């Protein structure tokens, strides 16, 4: 069974609950890192928990939501092995999986409605990675971190 970790800040809380219901309806196990209500919180705390869940393989993939998606994108992509993609349309979601093997979807709670968000999530979940020439590029992305650390 696929397992998805999910988290948001206060601006993404309502959309998080909608996406979580979609995942459960699709028989996907959900690890909800919070928050538990719409009180103001710091998005880095929740983005970090979701990213760590994906990196440690506690979950297969992750979804994070903040107001614009920008802050969460910055946070999750600090983690080696995370390919977090901010998607605001269905084509971006499809391409993020086909070409980038996205393992963490970022959504903008204040920018897209729930119908579009559901379509984005479903496309992101259902689209396979194409591999081939794209795998070579993913390998280069992963090697950026190693190169910065002085490894080869």
| 134 catalytic per annotation | no
Report pLDDT digits (tens) over 107-139.
999 999 999 999 999 999 999 998 788 888 888
Contacts of 101 (CB under 8 A, 6+ apart): 83, 129, 134, 135, 138
Q: With 60 as the cut, is the pLDDT of residue 152 above it? A: no
Range of the domain at 11: 3-148
Domain CATH for 66: 3.40.1400.10
Q: What percent of the chain has pLDDT over 70?
A: 95
Is 29 within 8 Å of 129 (Cβ atoms)?
A: no
Domain tally for the chain? Answer: 1
Contacts of 83 (CB under 8 A, 6+ apart): 77, 96, 100, 101, 102, 103, 104, 138, 141
| 99 catalytic per annotation | yes
Mean of pLDDT over the chain: 94
Give me the catalytic one of 66, 87, 134, 145.
66
């Amino acid at each position: 069974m696929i397992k998805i970790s999910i988290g948001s800040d206060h601006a993404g809380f309502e959309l998080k609950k909608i996406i979580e219901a979609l995942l459960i309806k699709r028989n996907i196990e959900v690890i909800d890192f919070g928050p538990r209500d719409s009180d103001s919180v710091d998005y880095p705390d929740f983005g970090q928990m979701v990213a760590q869940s994906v990196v440690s393989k506690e979950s297969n993939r992750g979804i994070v939501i903040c107001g614009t998606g920008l802050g969460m994108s910055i946070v999750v992509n600090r983690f080696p092995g995370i390919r977090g993609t901010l998607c605001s349309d269905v084509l971006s979601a499809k391409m993020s999986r086909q070409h980038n093997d996205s393992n963490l979807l970022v959504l903008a709670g204040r920018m897209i409605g729930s119908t579009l968000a559901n379509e984005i999530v479903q496309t992101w979940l259902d689209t396979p990675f194409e591999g081939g020439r794209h795998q070579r590029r993913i390998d280069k992305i992963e090697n950026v971190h190693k190169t910065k650390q002085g490894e080869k």
